[in-house]
Amino acid sequence: MTLAQAYAALAAFLLLSGWFVFSDAAPLRTFRRSRPAALVLTFTVTAWFGWWLLNLPDPDLAGLPREPVAIGFVVCSLATLITMPDLLPVRALGVAMMFLARHVLDAGFGRLPDSLLAASVSYGFLVVFGLWWASSPPAFVRHCDWVLAESFRRRSAGGFLILLGVACAASALA
């Protein structure tokens, strides 16, 4: 992934999430327990990480055979759809945020100051909230409820995310 692609991916993520928050979209309120969102996000992050495992350099797997490790991970990940469906979309979103942050940070490694915005957004938003929400989905529920409770907070948070998305889009085009 190039730095421009990383900025474009960040911009898409931030603009979409900013729009959902700013407009108080109904999917945002039902997201936490949405079965379709759980299916889409779980399959997406499972495929993403499975592909990453299959393309990982050999020394990084400590001599383990690559295919059984990837198959074991995929089976266990898909089992979460049955064994822990409650708040699964939130967990999968957190994992997707951390995967996106990894690719963005890899694309910007050693390219300061060009990658300063990408690193700031990745560490400050994607990693912190991704880890927090993946490990404690009720935190996402409380954050979401708090932001959406008042129009000022909703518009401020949504506007901030949209502003960050526009900045990332501008950096992608620069």
**Cβ(137)–Cβ(32) below 8 Å:** yes
Model confidence pTM above 0.75: yes
Give the C-alpha separation, 8 to 2, whole Å. Answer: 10
Total number of domains in the chain: 1
**Cβ(172)–Cβ(11) below 8 Å:** yes
| DSSP tag of 24 | T
Residue 151, domain extent: 3-173
Q: What is the pLDDT of residues 3-23, one digit of tens each?
A: 999 999 999 999 999 999 999
Give the C-alpha separation, 57 to 97, whole Å. Answer: 23
Q: What are phi and psi of 118, to 5 degrees?
A: -60, -45
Q: What is the pLDDT of residues 49-100, one digit of tens each?
A: 999 888 887 667 777 888 898 999 999 999 999 998 889 999 999 999 999 9
